[in-house]
Amino acid sequence: MQDVEDKMGDDIVNIVVEILKKNSQNGLTITELVSLSKLSRSAIRTALAKLEGAKNVYVRQVGMAKVYFLMGDAK
């Protein structure tokens, strides 16, 4: 059962990475990622946590929002 959950998690991470690639210029907030992916906020947050842990995303605090960039794309 854990393998199925890991696979689903990897698919969601890949979706988030693809969306961030397409929108790398300005980065995206969690709300924007939810809107573009049609996934739940919880699923997006979990995927971003995995990407943060692997140092694949850069997070910039802008006011109350966190803006996410793929590593190497942040300016």
H or E segment at 68? strand 65-70
Does residue 26 lie within any of the structural domains? yes
The verdict on residue 75 lying in a domain is no
Give the separation between CA 21 and CA 3, rounded to whole angstroms.
Answer: 27
Domain assignment present for residue 9? The answer is yes
Instruction: Check which CATH number belongs to the domain holding 13 and give it.
Output: 1.10.10.10
Distance CA 49, CA 36 (A): 18
Q: What is the pLDDT of residue 8?
A: 55
pLDDT of residue 75: 45
In a domain, 49, yes or no: yes
Q: Which domain holds residue 32?
A: 2-70
Residue 21 domain-assigned (yes or no): yes
Contacts for 66 with CB less than 8 Å, ≥ 6 apart? 29, 30, 59, 60
Predicted confidence at residue 9, as pLDDT, reads: 66
- Mean pLDDT, residues 20-32: 92
**Per the domain annotation, does 35 fall within a domain?**
yes
Residue found by looking up tokens 């699923």 in the block: 43
In the chain, the number of structural domains is 1
What is the pTM for the complete model shown?
Answer: 0.83
